[in-house]
Amino acid sequence: MRKADIACGLVLLLLGGLVLWGSLTLKIGWGLNGPEGGFFPFWLAVGLVICSGVTVLKAFFRGSSYTDRPFVRKGGWVPVVKVAVPAFGMVALTEAIGLYPAAAIYLAVYMRWIGRHRWITILLVSILLPVASYFLFDKWFLIPMPKGYWTVISGLY
């Protein structure tokens, strides 16, 4: 927990530094019409740097007061990765083949891999859910979901 706290604090510190640099290039002083664009982000970044600095120092020096609770329970990261990786995979697939087919593949893979459901259930859910949402969003609410390269390849949609 302590290491994670320090790591996260350092990342935030870096972020604060980045914003500081970014707002300095925008000028933080008094312009023709009031404070310049960098004024507000600059002071926010100062605040962020101070806060994350305090967090890091506190974690560093008062390490003993931390409980031994680990950041992730032993073996706990396995299901997290199992959910996160396929989800990222779906997003990547969406760019290529569109959201609906990507979702169908994602649902099927996840249900088979994690849930070990029967193929019939998998087929039903992974086809019906995207199809239903296609009619709901693309047809009824007229919000077209991403189609990837499908539109280029064919006039399917």
Task: List the interface residues with other proteins, window 31-60 (CB under 8 A).
Answer: 31, 33-41, 44-45, 47-48, 50-52, 54-55, 58
Q: Please state, in angstroms and rounded to a whole number, the distance separating the CA atoms of residues 154 and 47.
A: 53
Q: How far is the CB of 64 from other proteins (least distance, A)?
A: 17
Q: Are 107 and 126 in contact (CB under 8 A)?
A: yes
Residue 63 within binding range of other proteins, rule CB under 8 A: no
Diameter over CA atoms, the chain: 69
Q: Are 111 and 118 in contact (CB under 8 A)?
A: no
Binding mask 3-32 for other proteins (x = CB under 8 A): -xx--x---x--xx-xx--xx--x---xx-
Single residue of 17, 101, 117, 150 touching other proteins by CB under 8 A: 117
Residue 87 within binding range of other proteins, rule CB under 8 A: yes
Name residues contacting other proteins, limited to 120-149 (CB under 8 A).
Answer: 121, 125, 129-130, 133, 137, 141-146
Cα separation of the two ends of the chain: 49
Q: Please state, in angstroms and rounded to a whole number, the distance separating the CA atoms of residues 11 and 16.
A: 9
